[in-house]
Amino acid sequence: MTATTWKRWRTETPRNALYYKGIPMRQMMMLFLAVFCLFSTMGLFNDLVNLGKVPYVIVFLNVAASGLVALVYVAIATRYRAYWFIVVSLLQIPFWLGFSVLIGFLYRRFHLHDVPSEQGIRVAAISILVLVVVSYSLFIGFITRQGADAYRVRNELELAHGIQKTLVPPVTLRTAVFEVYGISKPSDKVGGDLVDAVPLAGGDAIAYLADIAGHGLQAGILMGMLKTAARTALLEAGGLTREQTLPLLLERLNCVLPEVKEPHMYATFTGFRLGADGTVHYAIAASPPILHWHANGAEVAHLEDEQFPLGLLPVSGFDGRRLETAPGDLLVVATDGILEVPDKSPNKSPNKSNDEFGTDRLKAVIAANANVTLAELAETILRAAANFGKQPDDQTILIVRRLS
């Protein structure tokens, strides 16, 4: 075991301990009592080995000591870091030596005598039966309560999943000049990625993709807030110039998000304003690059822009740029959940860049399937990423095609 591994093992709280710390102590008491009752029978078993002759007070102390030792171990497993197992295991040596000294002292001090064998065996057997039944009942009670809580949480997640599908359905939009398609595949029941397209008065449209840091319910809630804020801000977009629209949208989202999120959370963003005259303006905020497939040259370029993510710092001055496109061109944006898929192949390249799906592989998929429908292209990209490795995060794609 390396020093780094030892330090991590000694200091990090295990996942199961984090889970049990979230359970109210009143419910945990049922588990503790169940374990105590079950392992306290070891003291009675010791009496049976001695043919039931051990004095009752000694049997009682053996029962209590056996149950308490088991209780310490289950407390460590559910509340503390793993290295305490080693500490407690080592401490058992002086504990049981001291316990033996105490037993010897009690025999001498109180002149304890053996119990009649038949009577002692009967008492030990009945006590074991009672303790096992009580332990079983407590275990069933604990499992039943946890099962009810798990069922409630599962129902809430199913409800959240339904809301997720309502907030982020597959996006299809077609204008006189552009075709837009977007799809999001969460890694959990609820994801933090967002893809949306909004038609504007005069034939223009806004298409954007956002990625909330992290995934799960917390990211999903913030994603819903971001979509509401973006849609609200875009109500006025028709009166703005095409150059102003996306920078102003980023400014407003960056002002709104800090008030409705945890300090460590933020969002990345890529947006397009698709003009009715064929012009394209875009803005990127800490998002992966835009991949531009040129129909005339059959090549894939990528566009990047270094701007801060949204909601993390109180910055201003977001910028947007104009992009020249030609009929047949494709614009593709994919979130980190696709680009950072790890290689599942057992024969990985020593080159770290080859250990992830990456931009180059995505470019190759786009170039090989540039003439299929947008929905088919998105499905092909997701399938290629799935074949490459396990999905690490929410996977979202936004594709725009210039029609004429």
Query: For residue range 58-108, what is the model confidence (pLDDT) as tens digits?
Result: 999 999 999 999 999 988 888 777 788 888 889 889 999 999 999 999 988
pLDDT of res. 2: 46
Mean pLDDT calculated for residue range 250-272? 90
pLDDT of res. 83: 81
Contacts 24+ apart (CB under 8 A), 57-66: 57/106, 57/110, 57/112, 58/103, 58/106, 58/107, 58/112, 59/120, 59/124, 61/99, 61/102, 61/103, 61/106, 63/127, 64/40, 65/99, 66/39, 66/40, 66/41, 66/42
What are the residue ranges spanned by the domains of the chain?
3-160, 168-402
pLDDT of res. 4: 46
pLDDT of res. 23: 74
Is CATH 3.60.40.10 the right assignment for the domain spanning 168-402? yes
Chain centroid to Cα 214, Å, comes to 7
Q: What is the percent of the chain with per-residue pLDDT over 90, rounded to a whole number?
A: 55
Mean pLDDT calculated for residue range 316-331? 94
Mean pLDDT calculated for residue range 184-205? 86
291 and 302 in contact (C-beta within 8 Å)?
yes
* Nearest of 337, 322, 349, 348 to residue 381 by alpha carbon: 337
Is the pLDDT score of 289 beyond 50?
A: yes
Place of tokens 């870091």: 81
Q: Please state which of the ranges 179-188, 347-356, 386-395 shows the lowest mean pLDDT.
A: 347-356
The encoded tokens of residue 61 equal: 């102390």
Q: What are the pLDDT digits (tens) for 205-254?
A: 999 999 988 767 778 888 888 888 999 999 877 778 999 999 999 999 99
d(CA 404, CA 381): 25
d(CA 124, CA 146): 33
Is the pLDDT score of 6 beyond 50?
A: no
Q: What is the percent of the chain with per-residue pLDDT over 70, rounded to a whole number?
A: 88
Residues 18-43 as b/e (b if ≥16 CB within 10 A, e otherwise) read eebeeeeeeebebbbbbbbbbbbbbb
The encoded tokens of residue 1 equal: 């075991």
Mean pLDDT of the chain: 86
392 phi/psi in degrees, rounded to 5? -90, -20
Is the pLDDT score of 351 beyond 60?
A: no
What pLDDT band is residue 167 in, cutting at 50, 70 and 90? low
What SS3 string covers 284-337? EECCCCEEEEECCCCEEEEECCCCCCECCCCCCCCCCEEECCCCCCEEEEECHH
Mean pLDDT calculated for residue range 339-347? 81
Is the pLDDT score of 13 beyond 60?
A: no
Is the pLDDT score of 182 beyond 90?
A: yes
Mean pLDDT calculated for residue range 118-146? 91
Is the pLDDT score of 392 beyond 70?
A: yes
What pLDDT band is residue 197 in, cutting at 50, 70 and 90? very high
pLDDT of res. 7: 44
Sort strands 205-212 and 267-274 into parallel, antiparallel or unpaired.
antiparallel
The encoded tokens of residue 39 equal: 């392992």
Is the pLDDT score of 158 beyond 90?
A: no
Mean pLDDT calculated for residue range 104-113? 89
Q: Which residues contact 80 (CB under 8 A, 6 or more apart)?
A: 17
d(CA 55, CA 46): 12
Mean pLDDT calculated for residue range 114-138? 93
Residue 397 pairs in a beta bridge with 183, 334
d(CA 158, CA 400): 31
* Nearest of 264, 296, 256, 302 to residue 282 by alpha carbon: 302
d(CA 395, CA 44): 58
Half-sphere CA count of 227, side-chain side, radius 13 A: 21
